[in-house]
Structure 1
């Protein structure tokens, strides 16, 4: 049961992060690429996004 709850939390946070990435003001192919990498790396990508990249990712992609 706890595993399911953790999985659901991870899925919701990943979808939220992907929506945030897709709303950035950069080229579409860059947004899609970053969203795919985030989905492929699961918890590691999610942790990196929220702890390091959230405020800087738009500058990195320009």
Structure 2
């Protein structure tokens, strides 16, 4: 039962991160790559995005 709860929390956090990235004003190709990276790395990607990269991702992805 506890493993199911942990899995569900990870799923919700991953979806939340992907949703936030989809709302950013960046090119759609770069946006898709960022979303796929977070989804494919699941817990690690959601953790890193939420606590470290949230403020920096727009400037990183808008660089030419």
1:54 corresponds to which residue?
A: 54
Q: When the two structures are superposed, what TM-score results if normalisation uses the length of structure 2?
A: 0.92
Q: What is the root-mean-square deviation of aligned Cα atoms in Å? A: 0.7
Q: CA deviation at 1:46?
A: 1.1
Distance 1:60 1:14 in 2: 20
Give the count of matched residue pairs.
Answer: 62
Runs of 4+ in structure 1 off by over 6 angstroms are none
**Structure 1: segments with no counterpart, 5+ residues:** none
Q: When the two structures are superposed, what TM-score results if normalisation uses the length of structure 1?
A: 0.94
